[in-house]
Structure 1
Amino acid sequence: MKASTFSNPKSSTPMLLFSPSVLSTTSTSKEISDLEGELSSIRNLLSTQATLIHGLAEGVHIDSLSPKVSEGLIANGLLNIEDREPSDLEKWSAEFPDLLDVLLAEKRVDEALAALDEGDRAVAEVKETNSLSPAVLTSLRTAIIERKQKLADQLAEAACQPSTHGAELRAAILALKKLGDGPRAHTLLLNAHFQRYQYNMLSLRPSSTSYGGAYTAALSQLVFSAIAQAASDSLGIFGKEHAYSSELVMWATKQTEAFALLVKRHALASSAAAGGLRAAAECVQIALGHCSLLEARGLALCPVLLKLFRPSVEQALNANLKRIEESTAALAAADDWVLTYPPAGTRQSVWPSSASLGNTMAFHHKLTCSAHRFNSMVQDFFEDVGPLLSMQLGGQTLEGLFQVFNSYVNMLIKALPGSMDEEANFEATGNKIVRMAETEAQQIALLANASLLADELLPRAAMKLSPSQASYKDDHRRRTSDRQNRHPEQREWKRRLVNSVERLKNTFCQQHALDLIFTEEGDSHLTAEMYINMDGTADEVEWFPSLIFQELFAKLNRMASLAADMFVGRERFATLLLMRLTETVIIWLSEDQSFWDDIEEGPRPLGPLGLQQLYLDIKFVICFASQGRYLSRNLHRVVNEIIAKAMAAFASTGMDPYSVLPDDDWFNDICQDAIERWSGKPKADRDLNSPTASVSAQSISSVRSHGSS
């Protein structure tokens, strides 16, 4: 291809529009010299022909006139114009189009631009002074417009050539802008950068086996470096004019969207479908890293990427959570519900509680195998949370994790005997098979799993979603604001986790309360007959708590012993569990309408012995709950209601209940003897300093004194 040049009028050095290597050859130099000679010959020929034609025209015109007519025309002054010499301006206007043609043919852009500017000025002056005839002025103006268009077309063609880039491209675009065609010039500039990076992308061939992060990095480098260079050229040539800035932003946004679609197709799609949150997160982080560099050039395109990547990351997030749920469910089907320390190498929470500081086992927690698996997968899940934060998926992540935990709690509820057709029949558990927790130790292990996950392990892992734990180390003000905004959300999330554990605890307590109260045939161990039938019998009464309350005490003692081993460092949860179980039994008694109908209305009235036995049973509950430190205010309230209702039923017979009830010391001695007999606890070991002892010692007497008043 022949090389051509645009010459600078102030310099003898030509400005290259094409490859310099071509111009360096001897043959090219010779061709240029020949071309210049030919152009000079053409110019001389044109000048000669113009003079000849002008002379012929004058001769023919004058000779064709008769002497008579010529004399008349001369007399009228009509031939004065033809006879006079053309002015310099007229000569210039005749030669100027030829000069422009030569400059355009030789592609001397700078000189052509200068000449066109000179022509525009001349036209403006002529228009003001009327120094040229309208026909000549119109012809000159048309010639200038046509040459401008021709030069613009030449510049546009050069800008579209793949070999034209760098300084040559900027020079062509600047010249086109000087011609007054700025919008076209700017569009050509952006298209040139687009064509260049499209050509470079031909060497980037993703395959199904290629590494998504490497492909994303290579593609990001190509696309965003092209956008950066286009932005730099645009600003350098066109400045910050709004129209050009807007077009640049729209163009850059379009290229970013196309880039995001390629990344989703070749890198994110497979990772998202497989639940590969870490791989998906890496691709997103790489793309955002390159994209963020454009912010220094005034292009904030990261929100565009985030919006387009969000569905893929959401898909990976949901698939990851689903995998945690299914893997945990599979282990729950074979879990022996025995608490053990985690296997060697298992990821654990590294935030020890204050109670466990200094303990060599501070970083290890006893859970069953399914709970260990759940915790380990959650810890891995929270390793890469940067994209989740930047895409504002923190709330959705917490919600998804809560749903997975709630599903696990449903399986734990389903593992409780007798709960298959009741509360555990949740849609979330589907038809998953769960191994039964047959023994009390296994059943308490279910609560140990749920409570430890909800109270400590999951909240600690979720703290990584707080921006204060993420990437804003350089902005204290932003970090503080985000922490203040995030913590209320996480506190609410933890409250929901605890409420889910409460469902398991409620089911546990209801099942054990029902086991105490009812036989396998459905008969009740706690009926009004056991009290109203005591009076009128000839047998001497042996004062002792009723059998069902003895069994309640024995069950609570066993569970307290098991909980002491299973809830090390979390004794409060064990205490609350025993408190809830005791409340469940007593509240059932308080709300059993058939029981109170029989006490209050028959078949026979409640007698003195029956009142004393009921009083003793309730007093017994108060005593062992007080000594076990699980006497709640709610339990104390319900106990007072039961005693008040029993005394009111007895008083309805016309007898004074206080006249048949011994004093509290008598009841306390019997209750204490029973506690010591079944617990094997010597009298000297009684816990007289229990924080609830003062409440229990006065609980019954307060009711009696209140009634007597």
Structure 2
Amino acid sequence: MQSLRPSSTSYGGAYTAALSQLVFSAIAQAASDSLTIFGSETAYTSELVMWATKQTQAFALLVKRHALASSAAAGGLRAAAECVQIALGHCSLLEARGLALCPVLLKLFRPSVEQALDANLKRIEESTAALAAADDWVLTFPPMGTRHSSTAFQHKLTSSAHRFNLMIQDFFEDVGPLLSMQLGGQTLEGLFQVFNSYVNVLIKALPGSMDEEANFEGSGNKIVRMAETEAQQIALLANASLLADELLPRAAMKLAPLNQSNYKGDSRRRSTDRQNRHPEQREWKRRLVGSVDRLKDTFCRQHALDLIFTEDGDSHLTADMYINMDGNVDDVEWFPSLIFQELYVKLNRMASLAADMFVGRERFATLLLMRLTETVILWLSEDQSFWDDIEDGPKPLGPLGLQQFYLDMKFVICFASQGRYLSRNLHRVVNEIISKAMAAYAATGIDPYSELPEDDWFNEVCQEAMERLSGKPKAINGDRDPNSPTASVSAQSISSVRSLGST
């Protein structure tokens, strides 16, 4: 063993193979000789096991010093893994002679492989963050000729996400030793942290993202190119969602099959591991999706704030819009308020962009539009100063203001329903908002239902608004002028309010 010296240029695997051949064939020969001379005498068998263990430990220390240490420090996970696999392959042959020495090797090799694992993940994290500084946030197919460019990986991502994906696929090329050392869970955790760090980079690329969110540990000073346009910002979500939903879980499935392991643990433990690993991966995927949700929430919050506030910090959505209508307006042209028009136009524009970017994953696009609509409506629901003014003055909500407010909420229900992103939660919150406004109006002593036109009128105004805002021509309806409420307001007019409230 001492005479076998690796040169500084030689490949660690070759040294490991030569040393393994020498050591484990000698142990095998000793086991054979011991059996011939002493038979199965317990005392001598025990002596043989102690001696073989000592030789295996000496072997492992030499492999660590001459082959594993340098590759582990450099993050050469594959080189380290290969050395471990070679050693385990030779060592496992002794099991037929009753010598189970693989656990001895695994215990001694594990710290080096952990070091290589950590260094590898760190390199992926740093490389991806550096690439984000030059990413133009435009979705493209992977460059031709890249490894892994099989049909399974023909997804549109931006340049930094393509590189991230390729590095992860390479990382999982040889996971046998990670399984055999029970490092599957640690690998998944490390990969989650790397992905989470990339999501932080994507959050930082959103204009106006809050400093405390973006200034995450380890990458606080990294420069990230801003995603200025809506298309670029939606591309950030396309990156994160595709990686979390499909690409990373597919790569991590290589950690599931235990037959890649050279370490033959007892069959009971293997079957237990097999049962336990899939729930572990499901929980891991849930965490990945949770990380994407942080990006989605930041995206929705910023777009909601852009709609609600001016650059000077004034609000486009105030109680004054409604309480000042009565007494100040002679001839009302009924149409949804400007902020809700802008919300509808923005959602339409995003839906069109998302249709191109989320082909085959339309559900993600629908959930994004649902979340953005909810963010605006929840803000209105929770804006205490808005409700203080509606409920307590400076002056009470009048019939025109109530009608405009009801129209705005009806408009949200209409376009969300038409776009198929009317969630139960959104429906519930809109109903609660309408009920609060009705209660505030009823507090003046007047029945709010007596002031509202029939539901058909609201539906017609909303439909015309959607047609006009989306540029579609409206069919001429000679029987009805949708810009003037019906003169007679019957008991039927309240049916929708009541049915809406009971939904």
Q: TM-score, normalised by structure 1?
A: 0.66
- The 8 Å contact of residues 308 and 316 in structure 2, kept in 1 or not, is answered as yes
Distance 1:629 1:248, change over 3 A: same
Which consecutive residues of structure 2, in runs of 5 or more, have no partner in the other structure? 476-491
1:347 alignment counterpart: 147
Of 48, 66, 80, the match for 1:248: 48
Of 569, 576, 580, the match for 2:360: 569
Determine the C-alpha separation between the residues in 1 that align with 2:410 and 2:25: 82
Instruction: Please give the per-residue CA displacement for 1:466-522, whole angstroms capped at 9, x wherever unaligned.
Output: 1257359x9999876543221101000000000000000000000000000000110
- The 8 Å contact of residues 467 and 479 in structure 1, kept in 2 or not, is answered as no
Of 117, 121, 136, the match for 1:336: 136
2:163 alignment counterpart: 373
Please state whether the residue corresponding to 2:62 is helix, strand or coil.
Answer: helix
Please state whether the residue corresponding to 2:331 is helix, strand or coil.
Answer: coil
- The 8 Å contact of residues 53 and 101 in structure 2, kept in 1 or not, is answered as yes
- The 8 Å contact of residues 180 and 261 in structure 2, kept in 1 or not, is answered as no
Residue 304 of structure 2 is aligned to residue 504 of structure 1: no
| Greater Rg over alpha carbons, structure | 1
Read off the aligned partner of 1:647 and give its amino acid letter: M
Determine the C-alpha separation between the residues in 1 that align with 2:362 and 2:173: 31
Of 419, 431, 452, the match for 1:640: 431
Please state whether the residue corresponding to 1:427 is helix, strand or coil.
Answer: coil
Work out the percentage of aligned pairs sharing the same amino acid: 88
- The 8 Å contact of residues 444 and 563 in structure 1, kept in 2 or not, is answered as yes
RMSD: 2.2
* Pairs within 5 Å for 1:517-536: 517-536=308-327
Determine the C-alpha separation between the residues in 1 that align with 2:287 and 2:366: 21
2:66 alignment counterpart: 266
* Pairs within 5 Å for 1:64-463: 198=1, 201-202=2-3, 204-348=4-148, 363-463=153-253
Kindly state the Cα deviation for residue 680 of structure 1 after the two structures are TM-superposed: 2.7
- The 8 Å contact of residues 179 and 258 in structure 2, kept in 1 or not, is answered as no
Determine the C-alpha separation between the residues in 2 that align with 1:383 and 1:618: 54
Instruction: Please give the per-residue CA displacement for 1:613-672, whole angstroms capped at 9, x wherever unaligned.
Output: 000000000000000000000000000000000000000000100000111101000000
Distance 1:290 1:705, change over 3 A: closer
Distance 1:349 1:444, change over 3 A: same
Kindly state the Cα deviation for residue 429 of structure 1 after the two structures are TM-superposed: 2.9
Determine the C-alpha separation between the residues in 2 that align with 1:466 and 1:278: 18
Instruction: Please give the per-residue CA displacement for 1:219-246, whole angstroms capped at 9, x wherever unaligned.
Output: 0111111111111111211122222111
Determine the C-alpha separation between the residues in 2 that align with 1:476 and 1:701: 67
Instruction: Please give the per-residue CA displacement for 1:319-369, whole angstroms capped at 9, x wherever unaligned.
Output: 11111111111110110000000001223476xxxxxxxxxx664000000
2:482 alignment counterpart: none
1:591 alignment counterpart: 382
- The 8 Å contact of residues 415 and 434 in structure 1, kept in 2 or not, is answered as yes
Determine the C-alpha separation between the residues in 1 that align with 2:198 and 2:251: 17
Distance 1:682 1:428, change over 3 A: farther
1:540 alignment counterpart: 331
1:579 alignment counterpart: 370
Q: How many residues align?
A: 484
Kindly state the Cα deviation for residue 536 of structure 1 after the two structures are TM-superposed: 1.1
Distance 1:701 1:494, change over 3 A: farther
* Pairs within 5 Å for 1:551-570: 551-570=342-361
Please state whether the residue corresponding to 1:429 is helix, strand or coil.
Answer: coil
Kindly state the Cα deviation for residue 705 of structure 1 after the two structures are TM-superposed: 5.0
Determine the C-alpha separation between the residues in 2 that align with 1:257 and 1:362: 43
Read off the aligned partner of 2:95 and give its amino acid letter: E
Determine the C-alpha separation between the residues in 1 that align with 2:442 and 2:218: 52
Determine the C-alpha separation between the residues in 2 that align with 1:659 and 1:535: 16
Kindly state the Cα deviation for residue 208 of structure 1 after the two structures are TM-superposed: 1.6
- The 8 Å contact of residues 423 and 507 in structure 1, kept in 2 or not, is answered as no
Residue 412 of structure 2 is aligned to residue 621 of structure 1: yes
- The 8 Å contact of residues 124 and 167 in structure 2, kept in 1 or not, is answered as yes
Higher relative contact order, structure no. (Cα contacts within 8 Å, ≥ 6 residues apart): 2
Of 340, 347, 367, the match for 1:549: 340
2:498 alignment counterpart: 704
Q: Which moved more, 1:508-517 or 1:219-228?
A: 219-228
Determine the C-alpha separation between the residues in 2 that align with 1:611 and 1:296: 86
Determine the C-alpha separation between the residues in 2 that align with 1:655 and 1:348: 70
1:26 alignment counterpart: none
2:403 alignment counterpart: 612
Instruction: Please give the per-residue CA displacement for 1:68-124, whole angstroms capped at 9, x wherever unaligned.
Output: xxxxxxxxxxxxxxxxxxxxxxxxxxxxxxxxxxxxxxxxxxxxxxxxxxxxxxxxx
Determine the C-alpha separation between the residues in 2 that align with 1:409 and 1:212: 36
Kindly state the Cα deviation for residue 463 of structure 1 after the two structures are TM-superposed: 0.3
Determine the C-alpha separation between the residues in 2 that align with 1:362 and 1:231: 49
Read off the aligned partner of 1:212 and give its amino acid letter: G
Q: TM-score, normalised by structure 2?
A: 0.92
Residue 363 of structure 2 is aligned to residue 601 of structure 1: no
Distance 1:271 1:526, change over 3 A: same
Distance 1:390 1:649, change over 3 A: same
2:486 alignment counterpart: none
Distance 1:468 1:262, change over 3 A: closer
Determine the C-alpha separation between the residues in 2 that align with 1:370 and 1:310: 32
- The 8 Å contact of residues 535 and 608 in structure 1, kept in 2 or not, is answered as yes
Distance 1:705 1:314, change over 3 A: closer
Determine the C-alpha separation between the residues in 2 that align with 1:486 and 1:553: 45
Kindly state the Cα deviation for residue 283 of structure 1 after the two structures are TM-superposed: 0.3
Kindly state the Cα deviation for residue 703 of structure 1 after the two structures are TM-superposed: 3.9
